[in-house]
Amino acid sequence: MQEKGLLIVLSGPSGVGKGTVRKEIFSQPDTAFEYSVSATTRKPREGEVDGVDYFFKTREQFEEMIENDQLLEYAEYVGNYYGTPVEYVQQTLDAGKDVFLEIEVQGAGQVRRKFPEGLFIFLAPPSLSELENRIVTRGTETEDLIKGRMKAAREELEMMELYDYVVENDKVELACERVKAIVVAEHCRRERVQYRYKKMLEVD
Ligand code: 5GP
């Protein structure tokens, strides 16, 4: 029987740098897990490519995906839908490959309920003021939007409890190393590997 891949979920407050950490992880040639491209109703930003950064959808298309049960999870975030197409995740895990999701916290909560055996990693900011700083210096958002995001971030920080690991994003390279080390460790977890040794002993 094909051993299933690991479902890795990286989440955390908005502005904490999830996207940056994810991009850094996938720019490294030794990264052995597959990125699950999300669907969204938000408009593409400059340079974003459909099918690579996101599957860009209209609200109608997205709502159809919800109705047809095509999403593993979805959430409405700052006025737009974001969701994870379930088919790709299922097929990739069944093929024995690890799948990596980078999603906001409401969606991560839904995945936790459906896939309790997943690996849930919370990306944490070094401090709240640092978080505010990062959101403001991003410079692309209005004052109201920034306030909204900060309020959400405070609430989201309290959701750390639902995760298996916490990685501080003090430096992107360090955060990436920690995430990858956690994945390696998870593959060595006794519950995951013990059956192989049991099988070996049965052969004798
Ligand atoms: P952005 O618009 O900056 O690309 O993403 C906004 C937020 O949506 C980020 O926190 C990102 O992690 C989250 N996000 C991206 N894809 C998904 C998804 O498929 N599901 C959920 N729940 N959140 C997502």
Give the CATH number for residue 102.
3.40.50.300
Query: Ligand 1 pocket test: which of 70, 104, 162 has the largest number of ligand atoms within 8 Å of its C-beta?
Result: 104
Which whole number is the average pLDDT over 70-95? 97
Tokens of 1: 């029987």
Position 157 pLDDT exceeds 80: no
**Could you tell me if residue 137 is inside a domain?**
yes
Which whole number is the average pLDDT over 171-187? 96
pLDDT over 70, % of the chain = 94
Residue 22: give the domain boundaries.
Answer: 7-37+97-201
Q: Which helix H or strand E contains 32, and what residues bound it?
A: none
Report which of residues 147 and 17 the model is more confident about.
17
Q: Say if strands 54-56 and 119-124 run parallel, antiparallel, or are unpaired.
A: unpaired
Query: Ligand 1 pocket test: which of 9, 18, 82 has the largest number of ligand atoms within 8 Å of its C-beta?
Result: 82
**Could you tell me if residue 152 is inside a domain?**
yes
Residue nearest to atom 2 of ligand 1 (CA): 42
Alpha-helical (H) ranges within the chain are 18-27, 59-67, 86-94, 105-114, 128-138, 143-157, 172-187, 190-203
Position 13 pLDDT exceeds 70: yes
DSSP 12: -
Report which of residues 87 and 144 the model is more confident about.
87
Which whole number is the average pLDDT over 19-40? 96
Mean pLDDT (the chain) is: 91
**Could you tell me if residue 77 is inside a domain?**
no
The 10 Å CB-count burial string (b at 16+, else e) for 143-179 is eeeeeebbebbeebbebeeebebebebeeeeebbebb
**Could you tell me if residue 86 is inside a domain?**
no
**Could you tell me if residue 81 is inside a domain?**
no
**Could you tell me if residue 58 is inside a domain?**
no
Which whole number is the average pLDDT over 118-137? 81
> How far does the centroid of ligand 1 lie from the alpha carbon of residue 183, in Å?
21
**Could you tell me if residue 125 is inside a domain?**
yes
pLDDT band at 101 (very low <50, low <70, confident <90, very high): very high
> How far does the centroid of ligand 1 lie from the alpha carbon of residue 190, in Å?
32
Position 169 pLDDT exceeds 70: yes
> How far does the centroid of ligand 1 lie from the alpha carbon of residue 140, in Å?
16
Rounded distance between C-alpha atoms, residue 94 and residue 189, angstroms: 19
Would you give the distance in Å from CA 117 to the centre of its chain? Answer: 15
Q: What is the pLDDT of residue 140?
A: 67
Tokens of 94: 């069944």
Whether the model clears a pTM of 0.85, i.e. scores above it, the answer is yes
Q: What is the tally of structural domains in the chain?
A: 1
**Per-residue model confidence as pLDDT tens digits over 128-152:** 667 777 777 766 678 888 888 778 7
Least confident of 39-48, 69-78, 127-136: 127-136
Position 94 pLDDT exceeds 90: yes
Tokens of 5: 């891949």
Would you give the distance in Å from CA 84 to the centre of its chain? Answer: 10
**Could you tell me if residue 42 is inside a domain?**
no
